[in-house]
Amino acid sequence: MKMFRKHVGSISRISTQLQRGPPTVGSIAGLSTEAEAAPKQERVDEKITEFRTAITNPGGHSPLQIAKFYTIPAEEKKRIFGGGGLPKQYELQIKTFTEACLMVRSPALELLQYIKQADLSKPVVRYVLYGENGVGKSLTMAHVLHYGALHDFLLVHVPWAPNWMKRPKETANATGQEGFIDLPFDAAAWLVHFKTQNAQLLQKLQLKTSKDYVWSKRESTPTGSLLTELVEHGIARIKYASETIAAVISELKQLSTAGQCKVMVAIDGFNAFFHPETRIFSDNKQRVTPDRITLTQPFLNITNYDWTNGVCILSVDKIAMTEGYMESYMPRYLLGKDGFEHLDPFVPVHVDNYTDKEFTNYISYYVDRFWITKTAPDLEDQLKFMSNKNPYTLMQLVRGL
Amino acid sequence: MSANLTRWLERSLHNCHATQSRTALRLFSGQQQQQQQQQQEVEEDEEFRVLNLRAVKKQVAARREIKRDPVPPPRSNRMAVDQDWTAAWPGPRSFHPASVPLPLRQGYTERGAAAPSKFANAELMKIPNFLHLTPPAIRQQCEAIKQFCTPWPKGLETEEKCKHHFPVEVVTTDFCHSLPTIRNPEARRVTVSLKLSELKFDAHAKDKFLRLVGERYNQETDVLTIVADRCPMRKQNYDYALYLLTACYHESFITEPWEETKSEADMEVYHFERNKAKLSAEAILNWNEAAGETKVAPSQGYAKSVEQLINEGENEYNIAKYKKEVLKMLNIPVAN
């Protein structure tokens, strides 16, 4: 159990870096990092500048707020992104700046607009975020996820799917299905993540299971038990975590189709499910394909179009693939034939580099945080030239030594 | 004894009485006579040959004077200004300075100096000249062959009309050499080319025809080229090429029983109708419809955009088009 806690601590992108558990914002305030010794209270008051917006609810964002920063309240950030969802580097930046700021950008606004106006009685629409490395696909997803969390969507969120294929905590042969591989720790960690994200909403909705789940001779989950109980069981009995996920997800599909809840599916690095191979070896020392992993099936199931009252936001990423499969960032290439057929018809949403306005605002933000000082008069132009307005490159350029 | 004999011999030689003494010796003993003969041969050989290092000069015969005619002044000097040039230079020939009344210069010299003149100028002889193909010469020759020409057929005035009435183009090559044989193995080669748009196909036949002809079809120019050189005679090769064309064309209209087993993986292009994309789109559009009602089919625009995306490959334009069509089909309002 102790070992399990250690593993469950975090399922963020680079899990080895985050063994110590998710950084809580409360503790961050105490950590007076480097040059950030200025008192926090002052900052909170002078929030409204030309590059900030006071609207912290993504539902209120409109094109007026484009290129402006909004702050995710600390407790919401902890609840939604506690188990991952923000890239590691960005998490570090948040910790340094002692505030979780996200920029309102057009891809996220576009998605929010689709979601707000969507007819939820129709089959679920799949939105696929695509773009070059480091343009902000994950943060766009985080923005939408924040919206979902505040607007009574049950979140089915996989912070970084390739983690399961590339660096699983433990592998075991699946008990139920012959020739399949279980990732019990990862599955349980996901259940914990699901529980933390949706605890309040599950409490409120009191969702019930529709059928009996018999795990073993002595253990079973009867019809009509709460969904929370099912999740709890999966967390407590790691052995059955993968099967529990399958059960939870099929229950969610039924419940949302029945109109009892709304579900937002957000999977980052979705194309990992269609990668030709994983880094997991089977008993006969052969690489396993992603479709032989028990965790793949439920998430492919929920991204299918055969349910309603939900929305799917998926991202396809070059770095979800491995060497030799990273030529293009286009969705058809990354998803492959099967993946494309699985998702088709989907709405591709292109995430691009910063616009000039976004870039200027980001520099202003860094200056405001005393992260860079504008000593050289053409510093902004230099940074623009060096980074090509790519968000990740900009962050790397101005990062601490 | 021999010493005495030698001395005696010398004396007798000196007195020129050799004959006499020899007879006496012969009387003396037969053995001695042999020795004497040998002695005589050695003496004759002792006369050395002379090695004359300085060869004696023979009397050199006086060289015959070659009588050369004086070089006449260049012919071009005497040419009339209005002469018939076609008569002066009737056929292809390498440059000849005295025959060309032009002050030509050609070649490399030091800087500033004039280029070498046309006389004894190898540069001018190396390069091909067209002095035999002056416009009057061509006009003259055209006039001469006019009597053998027939009028141009009516209805074939333009290149397009020719192409339309005679779509098949046959190319053969004749070779002329100064050889004992007039045959050239390359002359048997026949190239038949044809624009494929001239033939009438249905979708299946076209696909099959293209598979049959393989690389003989150029997709960019839409031209089919059949080269035949397997038979020894040109006529045979021509017949074979036309046979191939005819056979492939008719064969392509035949559907064999095994062709029905063509699966999706064998398809050369993506067809919306055959793929899962159509099923998914139909299922989404007809969600919650009763079984009996008429099904809504996905729009043509969507089908086209999917086909374009897969067949042409991905780019920003195709993706944007696909997105637009999906949004339209799924009835999602778009912000402006």
Beta-carbon separation of A344 and B323 below 8 A:
no
Regarding whether A128 and A101 lie in a shared domain, the answer is no
Q: Which residues contact B268 (CB under 8 A, 6 or more apart)?
A: B207
Regarding whether A245 and A233 lie in a shared domain, the answer is yes
Q: What residue spans of B15-158 are helical by DSSP H?
A: 18-28, 30-45, 85-88, 122-126, 135-145
Regarding whether A327 and A186 lie in a shared domain, the answer is yes
| Type of residue numbered A271 | N
Regarding whether A363 and A340 lie in a shared domain, the answer is no
Higher pLDDT, B333 or A309: A309
Q: Are β-strands B190-195 and B223-228 bridged in parallel, bridged antiparallel, or unpaired?
A: antiparallel
Helices B276-285 & B300-311, crossing angle to 10 degrees?
150
Q: What DSSP line would sit under B239-299, residue for residue?
A: HHHHHHHHHHHHHTT---GGGGG--GGG-SS--GGGSHHHHHHHHHHTTT--TTSPPPPPP
Residue to mutate among B279, B296, B314, with most A CBs inside 10 A, is B314
Q: Is A348 helix (H, G, I), strand (E, B) or coil?
A: strand
Range of the domain at A80: 24-108
Q: Which residues of A touch B288 (CB under 8 A)?
A: 121
User: Of A229, A194, A242, which is closest to residue A82 (Cα–Cα)?
Assistant: A194
Q: How far apart are CA A236 and CA A218, in angstroms?
A: 15
Residue A398 and residue A383 in contact, taking contact as beta carbons nearer than 8 Å: yes
Number of other CB atoms surrounding residue A398 within 10 Å = 17
Q: Is A330 on the interface with B (CB under 8 A)?
A: yes
Instruction: State whether the Cα torsion A245-A249-A250-A255 is positive or negative.
Output: positive
Number of other CB atoms surrounding residue B84 within 10 Å = 12
Helices A227-236 & A184-205, crossing angle to 10 degrees?
160
pLDDT by residue (tens digit) across B154-191? 999 999 999 999 999 999 999 988 788 888 889 999 99
Distance from CA of residue B30 to its chain's centroid?
93
Q: Is B287 on the interface with A (CB under 8 A)?
A: yes
In a domain, A6, yes or no: no
* Gyration radius (Cα) of chain A, Å: 21
Q: Which residues of B touch A330 (CB under 8 A)?
A: 314-315, 319
Distances (CA, A) of A227 to A247, B2, B79, B155: 10, 155, 117, 85
| Domains along the sequence of chain B with CATH | 85-149 (no CATH), 159-258 (3.30.160.20), 265-330 (no CATH)
In a domain, A293, yes or no: yes
Please check the confidence at residue A38 and state whether its pLDDT lies above 50.
Answer: no
Q: Which residues of B touch A121 (CB under 8 A)?
A: 288
Regarding whether A128 and A181 lie in a shared domain, the answer is yes
Regarding whether A104 and A70 lie in a shared domain, the answer is yes
**pLDDT of the residue at A344:** 83
| Type of residue numbered A245 | I
Q: How far apart are CA B107 and CA B127, in angstroms?
A: 11
**pLDDT of the residue at B23:** 44
Domain final position from A86, A108, A130? A108
Regarding whether A379 and A233 lie in a shared domain, the answer is no
Regarding whether A370 and A223 lie in a shared domain, the answer is no
Beta-carbon separation of A345 and B275 below 8 A:
no
Distances (CA, A) of B133 to A395, B141, B150, B188: 76, 10, 24, 32
**Local confidence pLDDT in tens for the 336 residues of chain B:** 555 655 665 665 555 444 444 444 444 455 555 666 666 665 566 788 888 888 777 777 888 889 999 988 999 999 999 999 999 999 999 999 999 999 999 998 889 899 999 999 999 999 999 999 999 999 999 999 999 999 999 999 999 999 999 999 999 999 988 788 888 889 999 999 999 998 999 988 998 999 999 999 999 999 999 999 999 999 999 999 999 999 999 999 999 999 888 888 877 788 888 888 888 888 888 887 766 667 788 888 899 999 999 888 889 999 999 999 999 888 888 865
Q: Exposed/middle/buried for B195, CB within 10 Å: 0-12, 13-18, 19+?
A: middle
Beta-carbon separation of B287 and A341 below 8 A:
no
User: Of A99, A134, A189, which is closest to residue A393 (Cα–Cα)?
Assistant: A134
What's the total number of domains in chain A? 3
At A349, which helix (H) or strand (E)?
strand A346-350
At A80, which helix (H) or strand (E)?
helix A74-81
Please check the confidence at residue A318 and state whether its pLDDT lies above 60.
Answer: yes
The complex scores an ipTM of 0.81
In a domain, A3, yes or no: no
Query: For residue A216, what pLDDT band results from cuts at 50, 70 and 90?
Result: confident
User: Of A367, A251, A260, which is closest to residue A298 (Cα–Cα)?
Assistant: A251
Higher pLDDT, B7 or A292: A292
User: Of B222, B160, B165, B228, which is closest to residue B194 (Cα–Cα)?
Assistant: B222
Beta-carbon separation of B332 and A347 below 8 A:
yes
In a domain, A15, yes or no: no
Q: Exposed/middle/buried for A194, CB within 10 Å: 0-12, 13-18, 19+?
A: buried
Q: Is B302 on the interface with A (CB under 8 A)?
A: yes
Regarding whether A364 and A322 lie in a shared domain, the answer is no
B288, B310, B326: residue with CB nearest A345: B326
Domain final position from A108, A123, A146? A108
Residue of B nearest to A106 (CA): B335
Q: Which residues contact B329 (CB under 8 A, 6 or more apart)?
A: A345, B281, B285, B298, B299, B302
Reading the block at residue A374, the tokens are: 């504008």
Q: Which residues contact A106 (CB under 8 A, 6 or more apart)?
A: A63, A66
In a domain, A301, yes or no: yes
Regarding whether A281 and A328 lie in a shared domain, the answer is yes
Q: How far apart are CA B310 and CA B288, in angstroms?
A: 30
Beta-carbon separation of A308 and B310 below 8 A:
no
Regarding whether A199 and A95 lie in a shared domain, the answer is no
Mean pLDDT (chain A, rounded) = 84
Residue of B nearest to A114 (CA): B332
Q: Which residues contact A254 (CB under 8 A, 6 or more apart)?
A: A210, A307
Q: Is B322 on the interface with A (CB under 8 A)?
A: yes
Q: Which residues of A touch B296 (CB under 8 A)?
A: none
Residue A164 and residue A294 in contact, taking contact as beta carbons nearer than 8 Å: no
Angle at Cα A201 formed by Cα A195 and Cα A202, nearest 5°? 60
Reading the block at residue B152, the tokens are: 């141009």
Q: Is B276 on the interface with A (CB under 8 A)?
A: yes
Regarding whether A325 and A366 lie in a shared domain, the answer is no
Q: What DSSP line would sit under A315-334, residue for residue?
A: E--GGGS-TTS-S---HHHH
Please check the confidence at residue A364 and state whether its pLDDT lies above 50.
Answer: yes
Residue A344 and residue A30 in contact, taking contact as beta carbons nearer than 8 Å: no
Q: Are β-strands A125-130 and A346-350 bridged in parallel, bridged antiparallel, or unpaired?
A: parallel
pLDDT by residue (tens digit) across A128-140? 999 999 999 999 9
**pLDDT of the residue at B209:** 94
Can you name the residues that pair with B1 across neighbouring β-strands?
none
Nearest CA of chain A to the CA of B219: how many Å?
25
Beta-carbon separation of A347 and B326 below 8 A:
yes
Q: How far apart are CA B200 and CA B96, in angstroms?
A: 60
Residue A137 and residue A85 in contact, taking contact as beta carbons nearer than 8 Å: no
In a domain, A127, yes or no: yes
pLDDT by residue (tens digit) across A144-203? 999 999 999 999 999 999 999 988 888 888 887 888 889 999 999 999 999 999 999 999
Nearest CA of chain A to the CA of B292: how many Å?
20
In a domain, A289, yes or no: yes
Beta-carbon separation of B319 and A125 below 8 A:
no
In a domain, A11, yes or no: no
Q: Is B275 on the interface with A (CB under 8 A)?
A: yes
pTM of the model: 0.66
Burial A7-21 (b: 16+ CB within 10 A, else e): bbbbbbbebeebeee
Beta-carbon separation of A119 and B331 below 8 A:
yes
Q: How far apart are CA B176 and CA B146, in angstroms?
A: 25
pLDDT by residue (tens digit) across A104-128? 999 999 999 999 988 888 899 999 9
A109, A332, A349: residue with CB nearest B310: A332
Domain final position from A350, A365, A380? A350
Residue to mutate among A116, A311, A332, A350, with most B CBs inside 10 A, is A332
Q: Which residues of A touch B310 (CB under 8 A)?
A: 332, 340
Residue B238 and residue B190 in contact, taking contact as beta carbons nearer than 8 Å: yes
Q: Is B267 on the interface with A (CB under 8 A)?
A: no
